[in-house]
């Protein structure tokens, strides 16, 4: 059954699952090493054209590490020609000044560079490779080439206490924006969640620091994304399933959200087999959680359902075993206790970061996990 | 009193574009967008290095029947605060 809906406004093009980094909170699926062949340049161009024809306007190139695709410049040029606003979401590894300039010539609008911490030791430990100095150099190059400088740092138990240092680093680099995003628990982050979730005290301190900088550093926009485990209402995930966001994974699988791949019982369509329009309008997977008819109690009769759409389907699945349940972050959910248990466990003392049994996101671990 | 702000232009990374699908001008920026009213779009289209006074004059010439000055200057303030445009 097709639901009447507008087209997607955002397209996230995950160009590759390959990545030189190994962040233990990566949002890629645990079994990324087992996924199919990457789309070709021409296949991507068709996706870009079709989504644009439906009104998509914001385009994120991400991954993995999108710089590993040698056709990135060609795809950016095509996207810009089509009228997209083009965002590159990168670790900065694999970048050099020549490429920063070539991407600018191709029409790239914005580069977001992610940092793992404010200093080399922790950054490189989390990233699993020595990348920090190079990231600093690339952040400066981005600015020098006339892009807005947008930095991103994923916050967790082991770096959230140095939020002030991260903000000082951003100020020193003259960043225009910094996004301090608390880890979202899907993919690798879910697997490592016990070692990533900060304590309530850590979170409150960090939030106070962020607010203080927001008052003082007016030239830099600071976004602080609160972890929803510490909230009693879920986020309006993806602004509703199949409403605004379209993700296309490296192998062409179309997803309403980048974490959705893990949900059982849904057949996600592939852009190799169907047009973007047919996928968006008619596919079972995109219609499955559209609107409100699929909802169970307590969401079904809840006056807040139009605000949060019942929260995140992936979180509902991971924590309750049924993706159609209310997101257990909600305190109206009968399973909210599971969030409270996880939060309670996070209040203990912090293990020194080097002793943490992180499962790093790399091909070896991915293969080991999916052969289980 | 004349407004002294000069060289008003869209901030780095901001783009203004007509969107056929929305039948409106949109302002695009890193990871975000806003649909613009036609009056907001008319002002932003003049932000290519003009002074505030030049922007007022240009719009006044385009819409001679209305007294636009206060509204235009107010919108420029707002857009500067939001970081959409920059000026010297
Ligand atoms: S989160 Fe880390 S490992 Fe995952 S794609 Fe991004 S940089 Fe690579
Ligand atoms: S019950 Fe469902 S719809 Fe209501 S606030 Fe909670 S998650 Fe949202």
pLDDT tens across A147-203, in order?
Answer: 998 999 999 998 999 999 999 999 999 999 999 999 888 888 888 888 899 999 999
Name residue, tokens 């979202």.
A184
For the residues A211-238, what does the mean pLDDT come to? Answer: 89
Contact flag B33-A57 (C-beta cutoff 8 Å) = yes
Residues 32-91 of A with CB under 8 A from B: 54-55, 57-58, 60, 83, 85, 87
Ligand nearest to the CA of A320: 2
B85 C-alpha vs ligand 1 centroid, how far in Å?
Answer: 33
The model's confidence at residue A1, banded by pLDDT at 50, 70 and 90, is very low
Residue A295 Cβ < 6 Å to ligand 2: no
Ligand nearest to the CA of A329: 2
The model's confidence at residue B35, banded by pLDDT at 50, 70 and 90, is very high
The model's confidence at residue A4, banded by pLDDT at 50, 70 and 90, is very low
Q: Are A285 and A269 in contact (CB under 8 A)?
A: yes
Which tokens in the block code for residue B51? 């002074």
pLDDT tens across A110-134, in order?
Answer: 999 999 888 888 888 888 888 899 9
A23 C-alpha vs ligand 1 centroid, how far in Å?
Answer: 5
Which tokens in the block code for residue A144? 């020098």
Tell which one of A310, A323, A324, A325 to mutate to probe ligand 2, the residue whose CB is within 8 A of the most ligand atoms: A310
Statement: residue B1 has pLDDT above 70: no
- Residue A285's alpha-carbon distances to A297, A318, A324, B82, in angstroms, are 22, 18, 13, 38
Tell me what pLDDT residue A5 has: 60
pTM: 0.91
Tell me what pLDDT residue A372 has: 64
Q: Are A6 and A290 in contact (CB under 8 A)?
A: no
Residue A326 Cβ < 6 Å to ligand 2: yes
Contact flag A7-B21 (C-beta cutoff 8 Å) = yes
- Residue B1's alpha-carbon distances to B64, B70, B80, in angstroms, are 21, 12, 20
- B53 Cα to chain A: minimum distance (Å): 25
A26 C-alpha vs ligand 1 centroid, how far in Å?
Answer: 5
Which tokens in the block code for residue A181? 């995003």
Which tokens in the block code for residue A245? 């966001």
Share of chain B above pLDDT 90, in %: 70
Q: Are A110 and A87 in contact (CB under 8 A)?
A: yes
pLDDT tens across A10-64, in order?
Answer: 999 999 999 988 888 888 888 888 888 999 999 999 999 999 999 999 999 999 9
**Contacts for A273 with CB less than 8 Å, ≥ 6 apart:** none
Tell me what pLDDT residue A224 has: 92
For the residues B33-42, what does the mean pLDDT come to? Answer: 94
**Contacts for B10 with CB less than 8 Å, ≥ 6 apart:** B16, B44, B47, B48, B84, B85, B86
A4 or A225, which is more confident?
A225
Q: Are A32 and A17 in contact (CB under 8 A)?
A: yes
pLDDT tens across A254-308, in order?
Answer: 999 988 988 988 999 999 999 999 999 999 999 999 999 999 999 999 999 999 9
Closest ligand 2 atom to residue A327 Cα is 7
Residue A233 Cβ < 6 Å to ligand 2: yes
User: If DSSP codes are grouped into helix, strand and coil, which group holds residue A261?
Assistant: helix
Q: Are A199 and A227 in contact (CB under 8 A)?
A: no
The half-sphere exposure of B22 on its side-chain side, counting CA atoms within 13 A, is: 19
**Contacts for A133 with CB less than 8 Å, ≥ 6 apart:** A120
Burial A6-24 (b: 16+ CB within 10 A, else e): ebbbbbbbbbbbbbbbbbb
A152 touches B at CB < 8 Å? no
For the residues A235-256, what does the mean pLDDT come to? Answer: 94
Rounded distance between C-alpha atoms, residue A343 and residue A341, angstroms: 5
A52, closest residue in chain B (CA to CA): B21
Span between the terminal Cα atoms of chain A, in Å: 36
- Residue A21's alpha-carbon distances to A71, A129, B31, in angstroms, are 20, 6, 23
Q: To 10 degrees, the CA torsion angle through A304, A308, A310, A316? A: -140
Tell which one of A233, A241, A304, A335 to mutate to probe ligand 2, the residue whose CB is within 8 A of the most ligand atoms: A304
Rounded distance between C-alpha atoms, residue A11 and residue A252, angstroms: 13
pLDDT tens across A361-371, in order?
Answer: 888 888 888 77
Q: Are A252 and A39 in contact (CB under 8 A)?
A: yes
Q: Are A153 and A181 in contact (CB under 8 A)?
A: yes
Contact flag B33-A7 (C-beta cutoff 8 Å) = no
Ligand nearest to the CA of A305: 2
Residues for chain B: how many in total?
88
Running DSSP on this structure, what letter comes out for residue A220? S
């Amino acid at each position: 059954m097709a639901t009447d809906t507008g087209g997607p406004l955002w397209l996230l093009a995950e160009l590759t699952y390959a990545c030189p980094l190994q962040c233990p909170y990566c949002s890629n699926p645990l079994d990324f090493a087992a996924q199919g062949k990457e789309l070709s340049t021409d296949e991507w161009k068709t996706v870009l054209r079709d989504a644009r024809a439906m009104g998509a306007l914001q385009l994120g190139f991400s991954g993995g590490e999108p710089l590993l695709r040698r056709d990135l410049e060609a795809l950016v040029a095509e996207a810009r020609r089509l009228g997209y606003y083009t965002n590159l979401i990168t670790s900065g590894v694999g970048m050099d000044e020549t490429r920063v300039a070539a991407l600018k010539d191709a029409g790239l609008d914005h580069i977001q560079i992610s940092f793992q911490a404010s200093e080399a030791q922790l950054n490189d430990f989390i990233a699993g490779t020595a990348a920090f100095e190079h990231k600093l150099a690339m952040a400066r190059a981005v600015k020098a080439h006339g892009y807005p400088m947008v930095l991103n740092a994923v916050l967790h138990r082991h770096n959230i206490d140095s939020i002030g240092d991260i903000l000082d680093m951003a100020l020193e680099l003259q960043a225009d924006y910094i996004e301090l995003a608390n880890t979202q628990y899907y993919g690798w982050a879910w697997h490592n969640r016990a070692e990533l979730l900060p304590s309530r005290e850590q979170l409150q301190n960090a939030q106070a620091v962020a607010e203080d900088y927001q008052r003082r550093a007016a030239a830099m926009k600071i976004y602080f994304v609160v972890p929803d485990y510490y909230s009693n209402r879920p986020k309006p995930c993806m602004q509703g399933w199949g409403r605004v966001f379209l993700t296309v994974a490296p192998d062409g699988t179309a997803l309403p959200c980048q974490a959705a791949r893990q949900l059982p019982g849904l057949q996600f369509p592939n852009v190799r087999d169907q047009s973007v329009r047919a996928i968006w309008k008619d596919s079972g997977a995109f219609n499955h959680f559209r609107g409100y008819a699929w909802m169970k109690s307590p969401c079904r009769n809840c006056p807040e359902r139009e605000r949060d759409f019942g929260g995140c389907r992936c979180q509902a699945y991971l924590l309750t075993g049924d993706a159609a349940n209310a997101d257990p972050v909600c305190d109206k959910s009968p399973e909210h206790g599971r969030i409270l248990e996880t939060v309670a466990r996070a209040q203990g003392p912090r293990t020194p970061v080097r002793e943490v049994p992180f499962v790093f996101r790399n091909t070896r671990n991915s293969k080991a996990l999916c052969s289980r | 009193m004349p407004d002294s702000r000069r060289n008003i232009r869209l901030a780095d990374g901001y783009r203004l574009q007509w969107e056929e699908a929305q039948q409106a001008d949109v302002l695009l920026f890193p990871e975000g967008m806003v649909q613009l009213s036609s009056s907001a779009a008319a002002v932003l289209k003049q932000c290519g290095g003009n002074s505030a006074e030049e922007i007022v004059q240009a719009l006044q010439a385009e819409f001679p029947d209305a007294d636009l000055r206060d509204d235009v200057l107010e919108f420029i303030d707002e857009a500067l605060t939001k970081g959409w445009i920059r000026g010297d």
